[in-house]
A = this chain, B = another copy of it.
Amino acid sequence: MTGNGADRKTALVISAHAADFVWRCGGAIALHQARGYEVTVACLSFGERGESAKLWKQEGMTLEAVKSARRNEAEAAAKALDVHDIRFFDLGDYPLEMDRDAKFRLVDLIRAVQPNFMFSHSRFDPYNTDHMYATQIALETRMIAQAWGHNPSEKVLGAPQLYLFEPHQTEQMGWRPDVFLDISEVWDKKRAAIECMQGQEHLWTYYTNVAENRGNHFRRNSGGMAGGRPARYAEGFETVFPRTVDELG
């Protein structure tokens, strides 16, 4: 774990589209807020072109109207999850593209937050190249934020873990969770945030099923029928970097 000062604990979510943080790590956000962390969410785009089919099926819809609606949903969900801060980079989607300036804006945020850990997408996603591009950017901007020669007067970043949150159709993405987080105590908040996503109602049950089944995985890996902890809901994450510890467990 890395430090960012004497008394703050922080985390940063890099979300390609406005809703990704809800389905994929909403539980982790609410839980860590409850544990005293300040969690910041960076939405690189609103998912306005590619993930708003329901809105576009309405008569006379415009790009600005879609972005506004998506922003409202994301802010409502962030509120439901007690998000500390949500930032909209408004970089466009399908495809998401980031030039040097956009990368440096994200570096600025990373340095300002000084996260103890970060979240992003899976490494690979043949359905959605924006997702894997966001992960590539997360690694690149993490590296820039560590450079002593980038804006030399600023505090450089340590070595925060990057947690890859759960993609849709995990097996097609080559994503393997190596940590399960018990989110039972904040499940109601995650469900409330999910229900803010009016445009994607077809996913509400889907991600509730995911949370229940990851709860089963949590129980299995914490002892199974010989004493596994009775987590009802969980989220899974894949780590990119090795952990550094004082004791195994």
Q: A residues engaging B (CB < 8 A)?
A: 1-3, 11, 28, 31-32, 35, 48-50, 52-53, 56-57, 61, 63, 66, 93-95, 97, 100, 103, 116-117, 126-130, 136, 139-140, 143-144, 146-150, 152, 155-159, 161-163, 168-172, 174-182, 202, 205-206, 209-210, 212-213, 216-218, 220-229, 231, 234, 236-237, 239-249
Contact = CB atoms under 8 A, between A and B. Distances in A.
Contact of A56 (B149, B174, B239, B245): B149
A248 B143 contact: no
A220 B130 contact: no
Nearest to A249: B1
Nearest to A149: B49
A171 B177 contact: yes
A238 B158 CA distance: 23
A192 B236 CA distance: 30
Query: Which 6 pairs from chain A and chain B are nearest by CB?
Result: A49-B149, A209-B209, A56-B148, A158-B223, A50-B147, A222-B244
Contacts of A149: 48-50, 52, 56, 63, 66, 94
A168 B220 CA distance: 10
Contacts of A224: 146, 158-159
Contacts of A129: 136, 139-140, 143
Contacts of A169: 217, 220
A177 B223 contact: no
Given A56-B149, A171-B171, A178-B178, 6 more contacts: A49-B144, A63-B149, A95-B144, A158-B227, A182-B245, A213-B213
Contacts of A116: 249
11 contacts: A2-B226, A49-B148, A126-B240, A158-B227, A159-B226, A171-B177, A179-B245, A181-B246, A182-B245, A221-B241, A236-B242
A38 to B, nearest CB: 14
Given A178-B239, A242-B217, A97 B95 contact: no
A206 B216 contact: yes
